[in-house]
Structure 1
Amino acid sequence: MTDWNKDHEKKIMTKYRFTLTLRVLRVLAACLLLFWVYMMAVNILSDAAHSEKKHAFYSKLALDWKYPNLHDDFGGFTKKEMTPFLTQKISYPITRKVGRDYQAVGEVQLEKRLFNTYSTLNIQRFEPNNESIYRFSLPENPNSGRKLSDNGKQNVWSSLSKIHEGTVAELAFSTKSFMKPEELLEVLKPYDLEVLWMPLYTGELKEFQTGFGSGGDSIELTSIYGFTGAREAGDNYMSESKLALTQEFMDENKAIMLKQMETLLKNESQSYYENFLGLDHLEERYNYLKENGFSVYGAVVTGPVKELLKLKQEEQIRGARLGELDYWNWE
């Protein structure tokens, strides 16, 4: 029989610690392997379903409709990450068009969780936008038909007249009446400008209630949709294309926008397009556009400042607001 002593006890304890450590390391290695296999399976299934591409595409669609003159970096790199809790994190850069060039202004950050209620779409800007120029006044009360005024700044034309002619800028304005998009493009045809976005009337305050601000004899809606060049996706969202907002593609732009709205309503839940994408009252707006057609009451345009200044003579234009300026980049 072996005598028990401190040296023997020390050897046994050392062996025990070594065995325990080895077992712990084996368990950790097994857990890491299982986690690696789990994450690989999650990413493979996600890629096979093209879910991240779908979420990115629909977020860009919401960007087109809800945010004037904000563009994704078309063809640019989209970052994506899948967390262990199946949250898809997606981000891509966004730009603003001034003249012919695009200025980087920030990025869109998506977090698509299992539950749409907790999913988020945030726009992170490099610089805070203190006062938005994208404010549009309704030309008339939708219920009574009474003509409304506009509270736009009257010194816009004076400011434009003092800016050097070797400059380009963006300008937003409202119109004195509802117009078809084709009609507004015809009004702007004589001017060397590019039309980027038009606020759409989609039945607000008449077919459904939404937020608005009023001052004096004007009404500004707080949540609006806009009309711009239509965006389409290929099979499984593997490719994208976008049309220009011109007379040539007008019918296609209208048809594609209605088709995209219908697809969202049929294939996605209300919590997806409302809570996640921020597309409020989508069904009511879709029904109104389908039944009544497309009516706009303003535009966002860009071009040389002296060309923008000429818009002062147009009887339909009111409530102009001057946006960003840039050095000459126009042809």
Structure 2
Amino acid sequence: MNDDFKKKLERYDKNDMTSEEKVEFEKEMSAQEEQWMKPTLEKSKQRKILRASKWKARINTALTVIPLLLVILMVSSFSTNLYYYGFSDEYSRSQKLSDVINFSLVITDPYANKYTADTKVGMFLTMNATKELRKTVGKESYPIGEMEVNFLFSKMGFVDKKFYGKDDQLPEIHHPSLLSEYEIDSSSEWDRLEMLPEGTVSTAFVTFDEVLPTEKVFELFEAKDLDLLWFPVVLSIEAEDHYPTSNIGFPNYPIFHSDDWKLISKTEEKSFLGSSSSETRAAPNYVEGDTEMLHKYFKKTLRFLADYQKEFDEIQQMHGDIQLKESLSYLEDQGISHHGVVITGPTKEVLSLKEEEWIGSIQVDEVALWNWSAE
């Protein structure tokens, strides 16, 4: 408000103006009032300021929340690794869960390899395990699918088995008592082997004409140019009820566990950054045909898996009702015997089994081009 306006205002208040001066001054006051009431900033500028204030509030919130989330993720990662791996070199929870998967396959899948499942921990106490599903024909093994298992803590989730082709169903190995009772005929399988050329290899599931001990199985195949892959065992349910398929067995190698690998040597290296160590461990030596060793570690595996019956039911490949504690009890009381074996080798060598009296039936599973070589 300038001095001239103040003087006019005083004269107006004192009624010291002519009528014309009053009219002019009132117009001036109206104009001045509009100027006073006009916002100091345009609306566009106001919107910009409001928008900037909102973003500032969001950024402040983010700067508060992000560090909190990072702390939560760090704590989750640390807790997850601690839960599954622990601090020491002792048998970890991750190794144990991996062994549940591996051992369940080894005793129910004639083609399962002995290598442990690959594990990867996630966040919030979860772990993922994968195991390759394979088949063996002759001297070669190739992948046919993959099994994936997720864990929350130690609780196993859904077991996802994916096959690259069709879902691969394993052939049956019958109990010898069923051969005549159900008139099981393998003539079409023998004919198939007859038609295959000499430059091929085959994998077959063989049923004996009687139950045989493990030593006798090795003895009968000793002169054959064939590999014994898997030994199905007679269980109580088969001995009593002649159940037609074998559900569990063991491979032609001992199923070693973590505590079977003995420390041979240990070296430690120190530097200004810290120290590191490396160990060399070895499992007991196995000579093919050592049935005592095969039986020992097979039963040890059953004892281990008996505490994981539910997980075993989901993982196993034979899809039969196998009660592990009952099976172990039967095998410890009655001993281990076999009603068949899974073999692989040159097709014509497999075909030669047709002339053996102790062969009850055969079912060919896979055939491939020649890959056989003497070891």
SS of residue matched to 1:264:
helix
Q: What is the CA–CA distance in structure 2 between the aligned matches of 1:129 and 1:243, rounded to whole Å?
A: 37
Shift of 1:12: 4.8
Specify which of 223, 239, 250 is matched with residue 227 of structure 1. Answer: 250
Q: What is the CA–CA distance in structure 1 between the aligned matches of 2:69 and 2:337, rounded to whole Å?
A: 58
The structure with the greater share of residues assigned to helix is: 2
TM-score (norm 2): 0.72
Specify which of 278, 281, 301 is matched with residue 260 of structure 1. Answer: 301
2:210 maps to amino acid: S
Q: Which residue of 2 aligns with 1:41?
A: 78
Q: What is the CA–CA distance in structure 1 between the aligned matches of 2:108 and 2:56, rounded to whole Å?
A: 62
Shift of 1:55: 1.6
- Note if 1:65 corresponds to 2:107: yes
Unaligned 5+ segments in structure 2 are: 1-35, 262-278
Aligned sequence identity (%): 20
Q: Is the 8 A contact 2:229 2:341 kept in 1?
A: yes
Q: What is the CA–CA distance in structure 1 between the aligned matches of 2:293 and 2:157, rounded to whole Å?
A: 32
Q: What is the CA–CA distance in structure 1 between the aligned matches of 2:234 and 2:183, rounded to whole Å?
A: 16
Over 3 Å counting, the alpha-carbon distance change for 1:28 and 1:130 in structure 2 is same
Over 3 Å counting, the alpha-carbon distance change for 1:152 and 1:110 in structure 2 is farther
Q: What is the CA–CA distance in structure 1 between the aligned matches of 2:140 and 2:203, rounded to whole Å?
A: 11
Shift of 1:167: 1.0
* Offset from partner CA, 1:49-86 (integer Å, 9 cap, x none): 722222222211111111122325x48xx543334343
1:120 maps to amino acid: F
Specify which of 179, 184, 198 is matched with residue 217 of structure 2. Answer: 184
* Offset from partner CA, 1:262-292 (integer Å, 9 cap, x none): 2333xx3544444566883010001001111
Q: Which residue of 2 aligns with 1:313?
A: 355
- Note if 1:127 corresponds to 2:170: no
286-295 or 20-29, larger mean C-alpha shift: 20-29
Specify which of 52, 56, 61 is matched with residue 98 of structure 2. Answer: 56
Over 3 Å counting, the alpha-carbon distance change for 1:79 and 1:137 in structure 2 is closer
1:90 maps to amino acid: A
Q: Which residue of 1 aligns with 2:338?
A: 296
Shift of 1:127: 1.2
Shift of 1:258: 1.1
Q: Which residue of 2 aligns with 1:195?
A: 228
Higher relative contact order (CA 8 A, sep 6+): 1
Over 3 Å counting, the alpha-carbon distance change for 1:30 and 1:245 in structure 2 is same
2:248 maps to amino acid: Y
Q: Is the 8 A contact 2:235 2:331 kept in 1?
A: yes
Q: What is the CA–CA distance in structure 2 between the aligned matches of 1:231 and 1:158, rounded to whole Å?
A: 36
Taking the TM superposition and a 5 Å limit, the aligned residue runs for 1:139-288 are 139-140=176-177, 148-149=181-182, 151-204=184-237, 219-221=243-245, 224-228=247-251, 229-235=253-259, 246-247=288-289, 249-265=290-306, 268=307, 270-274=309-313, 280-288=322-330
2:159 maps to amino acid: L
Q: Which residue of 2 aligns with 1:212?
A: none
Specify which of 89, 97, 112 is matched with residue 151 of structure 2. Answer: 112
Unaligned 5+ segments in structure 1 are: 210-217
Shift of 1:40: 2.2
Over 3 Å counting, the alpha-carbon distance change for 1:198 and 1:277 in structure 2 is closer
TM-score (norm 1): 0.80
Q: Which residue of 2 aligns with 1:92?
A: 131
Shift of 1:219: 4.7
Shift of 1:322: 1.0
Shift of 1:304: 0.4
Over 3 Å counting, the alpha-carbon distance change for 1:21 and 1:277 in structure 2 is farther
182-191 or 297-306, larger mean C-alpha shift: 182-191
* Structure (1 or 2) with the larger CA radius of gyration: 2
